[in-house]
Structure 1
């Protein structure tokens, strides 16, 4: 692939050539998937309703040497490999004075790698999926029972329009990366945005700080290409010559192949992925289960009567056995508040699951309630409850239910310790400021 301008490029210093060799190898390993699993997933994409989940997972690629959890130790391994490669490259390539072609193509790789990473997150914010509105159980959990990261997510979820704005900013920055002339503008949007994401993960104990910082390094490397010229022009008010290097594609297949690849990227990563995330948004957030719950049962219930082994237990804030209140979600989740300690589910990384059993967002980071998924046997009027917290894998309850007039539910059967329980639940007509404010609108009258 000849380039008529490469001969005119000035010679680089020895330090610049060495630094570039290291950067080239380091960023290439970080950005280009070298895992066979990645390509298996790429060529077995699910083209159904949850296709956006597959593309999101692919966009989240980062080299792992120490298990599935991303850590900075993986970066150290990449750096060691790049350092060894730099030494070998330097010893075997003593004559080259610059690498403008390789620099150009490395920037192309990083532009598209950063674009897919930022756009993938942008769409699940544009259509507010990443941080959903709080569930009924979340709204009835004391503030102090949430982890810092869950509070951050819930705080974002209650302002979906702001979440959509953040997604729009991400998508705009990602799209600007697709043209080399607007790359610097895109990085000027992305760097402060990702900087805020990184600091938020650190401050609120989130699990995506390593990945967000990886994207920041990509953006900083891309911005460095024009940083000196921008500083000279804007800050020093001195002339700054543009870098006019551009590869010359001499063959027709090279020109058409470039257009085909770019068009395919736009189609799959922007239009199709965007459509799929919108379709998913219309069916509800991916964090919550899809299986419908007991008909007409959704709401908060006071535990009016509670019997254990035929012995009535009075209401108590300190009793670890006696239930205090119960929430039925619109999906098949029941949450029970009692004084029994909860071993926290500390899941705090972004994961999109299709199976209800894997969607643990509602109880993750919450210590105030025990969450149960349930199966309904409508013929026998029996609910089979299973604790959703992975720290309680064997906890199940089997309860007979009786709905009386839509305001009362009676449960009876065996609890997690195989003791008989009898519970009378009265539905509370509780209003939530969040919901009432949404109904009233910005200028409406709010009454509670």
Structure 2
């Protein structure tokens, strides 16, 4: 495999290529730096987790799912995890980079002892850049599609709108502030997908690296500031982009700073005809898979499957809204409103999907994740993640014939099991999709969609309630049944028409009076 140096001008007619029999010898420090860099970036870009390979060889092509593209692109080197706040959100979360660097230094220096006569590594350097370019491209495109079809940061739910500002974790506030402007999230996704696609091609790799490097640094910074939890992964793309860009910096410096005519110099190996056909076949198989095919599956999911972070099952018809708890009885004893009462509900919310929430002065464990797109509605935890304030989240199944709600607690546990206080989320408590059909088909016996399965979906969830409901009017719902303490409860809910300045817009906010 001989080597070619290509001089690429601004026009095709200036393109010149010639073989170099004796390429210039690299300096000693360049060879040492390359050996270490080769091992370092190879370990970062090539999966080291056996589970990744297990998934690879267990693909069921008879039931091919779009999630496969995401799973294979979304991996990171993980030798060790520091179990601390810094290990989750801070500088200690980069410990695996340090481990990889140490391994790279040891192997790189050892490599040099057995390869002292090598004059240059132009061919290996070319293939390393190919690996890094493709790792950025497939990873950032998969990352971008969950924004392009806005599912990474969903539109805030009614429960978020009615949670006190101090009871929301920084990550939840940041994601909600992006999710409430879907067009902006779509734009961010487009930039990531576009920049990633540029990195598939050598001639546009510099522009792609600039775009992805810039946006990835911004994402990493924002995740450090708001404890979003994907700071290491986004910083990973920034680091790889800087590596790709480093090869172009001398030419960019000469062109833009020194204002000199510049002809980029590219080193790459010549390939035989068969090798060229194989490389082109592999290249365009990856390119088409992660642009055209992946786009189709993501679009199909967005339009029909609704495999998102928020539940897909439609809620009880006509109930969506915020409700005051007008009357609350336990064992036929009326309990007056008090924000300090640990039994009485303070308010309640029916989401447009099959989630019912109520606020009570009782600690609940805060879900510190940023949510995930699970196959089953009851396991979709984004709506409750990052929220405190004592709000309880229940998945429900509505039997519309017998007027019964079957509810199952979505919270992972109470503070007695190690949770945080309901009075507010601690500011120092810090920190993205399979194939499912839309579960909106009616169930036999009049039971609303999918929830019979829901009650069996996760036995590890919390309490289960069975409540009868009546609807004297469109704005009133009366619930009665037995709570988790086996006490009878009677609850009268009256809907309140609320307007939210952040939804109405700036001009409405200027005239808003509570």
Question: Is TM (by shorter chain) over 0.5?
Answer: yes
Matching of residue 58 in structure 1 with residue 72 in structure 2: yes
Give the Cα separation in 1 of the matches to 2:481 and 2:255.
Answer: 77
Superposed CA RMSD in Å reads: 2.8
Give the Cα separation in 2 of the matches to 1:211 and 1:49.
Answer: 29
**Aligned runs of 1:379-418 on 2, under 5 Å?**
379-392=401-414, 393-418=461-486
Give the Cα separation in 2 of the matches to 1:269 and 1:254.
Answer: 23
Q: Which of 302, 318, 321 does residue 281 from structure 1 map onto?
A: 302
Give the Cα separation in 2 of the matches to 1:399 and 1:151.
Answer: 33
**Contact 2:307/2:374 (8 A) holds in 1:** no
Matching of residue 372 in structure 1 with residue 440 in structure 2: no
**Contact 1:303/1:325 (8 A) holds in 2:** yes
Q: Which of 53, 60, 74 does residue 39 from structure 1 map onto?
A: 53
Give the Cα separation in 1 of the matches to 2:190 and 2:158.
Answer: 28
Matching of residue 80 in structure 1 with residue 102 in structure 2: yes
TM-score (norm: length of structure 1): 0.91
What is the aligned partner in structure 1 of residue 456 from structure 2? none
Secondary structure, counterpart of 1:7 in structure 2: coil
Q: Which of 24, 27, 30 does residue 16 from structure 1 map onto?
A: 30
Give the Cα separation in 2 of the matches to 1:237 and 1:134.
Answer: 49
Task: Sort the Cα spacing of 1:288 and 1:187 in 2 relative to 1 into closer, same or farther, 3 A.
Answer: same
> Per-residue deviation at 1:325?
1.1
Runs (5+) with no aligned partner, structure 1? 441-445
**Contact 1:156/1:163 (8 A) holds in 2:** yes
> Per-residue deviation at 1:378?
4.1
Give the Cα separation in 2 of the matches to 1:326 and 1:177.
Answer: 49
> Per-residue deviation at 1:77?
2.4
Please say which of residues 411-420 and 233-242 is displaced more in the overlay: 233-242
Matching of residue 264 in structure 1 with residue 285 in structure 2: yes
**Contact 1:50/1:276 (8 A) holds in 2:** no
Q: Which of 341, 357, 363 does residue 319 from structure 1 map onto?
A: 341
Give the Cα separation in 2 of the matches to 1:235 and 1:285.
Answer: 49
**Contact 2:364/2:413 (8 A) holds in 1:** no
**Aligned runs of 1:2-401 on 2, under 5 Å?**
2-4=2-4, 5=19, 7-45=21-59, 51-66=65-80, 71-238=93-260, 240-250=262-272, 252-283=273-304, 284=306, 286-348=308-370, 351-368=372-389, 369-392=391-414, 393-401=461-469
Give the Cα separation in 2 of the matches to 1:237 and 1:435.
Answer: 49
Give the Cα separation in 2 of the matches to 1:103 and 1:346.
Answer: 41
Task: Sort the Cα spacing of 1:157 and 1:49 in 2 relative to 1 into closer, same or farther, 3 A.
Answer: farther
Secondary structure, counterpart of 2:108 in structure 1: helix
Give the Cα separation in 1 of the matches to 2:374 and 2:462.
Answer: 22
Give the Cα separation in 1 of the matches to 2:61 and 2:321.
Answer: 36
Count of matched residue pairs: 442
**Contact 1:383/1:398 (8 A) holds in 2:** yes
Secondary structure, counterpart of 2:357 in structure 1: strand
Instruction: Report Cα offsets for 1:138-157 as digits up to 9, x if no partner.
Output: 22222222111101101001
Task: Sort the Cα spacing of 1:6 and 1:42 in 2 relative to 1 into closer, same or farther, 3 A.
Answer: farther
Give the Cα separation in 2 of the matches to 1:335 and 1:47.
Answer: 40
**Contact 1:408/1:427 (8 A) holds in 2:** yes
Instruction: Report Cα offsets for 1:8-28 as digits up to 9, x if no partner.
Output: 422111111011000001101
Task: Sort the Cα spacing of 1:50 and 1:313 in 2 relative to 1 into closer, same or farther, 3 A.
Answer: farther
Give the Cα separation in 2 of the matches to 1:145 and 1:37.
Answer: 37
